[in-house]
Amino acid sequence: MSAWSESSSGGSIRTTVRALLSQGDVDEAVMTASSRLGAETIVIKNAAMPIPGTCYSYNSSLVQVVSSLPQETRRVVVALPCQARRIREMLPSTLIISPICFQTVSQEALMKGLEKCGLSVEEREIRSIYRKHGELLVQTSKGLFTVPFNRYWRYLKFFNFSNPQCAHCVDHFGASADIVVGDDKHRSNMISVRTLDGLLAFESTAPMLQIKRDRFHGTRLGFTNKSVRQKVAYLIGKTLYRRKR
């Protein structure tokens, strides 16, 4: 799909938002956009407007902005699971899409990660930070710089990179959202539809998505688990040892 080349992990969220706006299913979309090392809330009124990609900073203004907007307007809100829960309590009928989230990155950690990757840039020069597949895109006043995302993420793991509130979160999979989207190592998206409203929204988007059945997904997911790999290696070794005897 066309959104693939400009998205973080397949483009399902951005494609869904664009489809809902272009088909008139909603009048506006409320989303998070990167702003310097932080994040800001933007309201998108039509499908021709730029739709932001993945932002790693926590957006503290999203819930406040959503609550201040006219309640009678048909809208879709893209919110983290913790934000989705609060918005659902305030506005039960709002259509909500959530990315799977395990933590947001502190602004201090974002800057340290860039420094560790050898990007020599002053904090005041940074305009936005987005992820596009295997790259981290850093827009500065001097131009656009790219950093290999895997290398950047490795550096973050060496120190406490998450925001304090994320350590106590128990809802990583968007229990309050209508649609939840995760990615399979940035090759494709995994989409979970939780409600009837989510199903109707997804129905509008489905023709614009490349939906394929992955028969081996469970197997690949199992091998990403360290304990599963150890057990498999043990069984293989035990089998080979018996044959040798």
Of 25, 3, 22, the closest CA to residue 201 belongs to 25
- C-alpha distances in angstroms, 61 versus 78, 79, 219, 220, 227? 13, 11, 40, 38, 40
Q: What is the pLDDT of residues 89-115, one digit of tens each?
A: 999 999 999 998 878 888 888 888 888
Question: Which whole number is the average pLDDT over 196-214?
Answer: 80
b/e for 224-236, b at 16 or more Cβ within 10 A? eeeeeeeeeeeee
The two structure tokens encoding residue 215: 């028969």
Give me the pLDDT at residue 17, please. Answer: 92
| pLDDT tier at 236, thresholds 50, 70, 90 | confident
Give me the pLDDT at residue 39, please. Answer: 94
> What pTM did the predictor assign?
0.80
Taking each helix axis from N to C end, the angle separating 107-116 and 149-156, rounded to the nearest 10 degrees, works out to 120
Distance CA 214, CA 211 (A): 9
Give me the pLDDT at residue 133, please. Answer: 73
Residue 144, beta-bridge partner list:
139
Give me the pLDDT at residue 1, please. Answer: 43
Q: What is the pLDDT of residues 14-36, one digit of tens each?
A: 889 999 999 999 999 999 999 99
Which one is predicted more confidently, 142 or 243?
142
Ranges of each domain in the chain:
1-102+169-212, 105-161, 216-245
Fold of domain 105-161: Nuclear Transport Factor 2; Chain: A, (3.10.450)
Q: What is the pLDDT of residues 137-196, one digit of tens each?
A: 899 999 999 988 888 888 876 666 788 888 788 888 899 999 998 876 555 678 889 999
Question: Which whole number is the average pLDDT over 117-127?
Answer: 90
Place of tokens 């688990």: 225
| pLDDT tier at 226, thresholds 50, 70, 90 | low
Question: Which whole number is the average pLDDT over 68-81?
Answer: 95
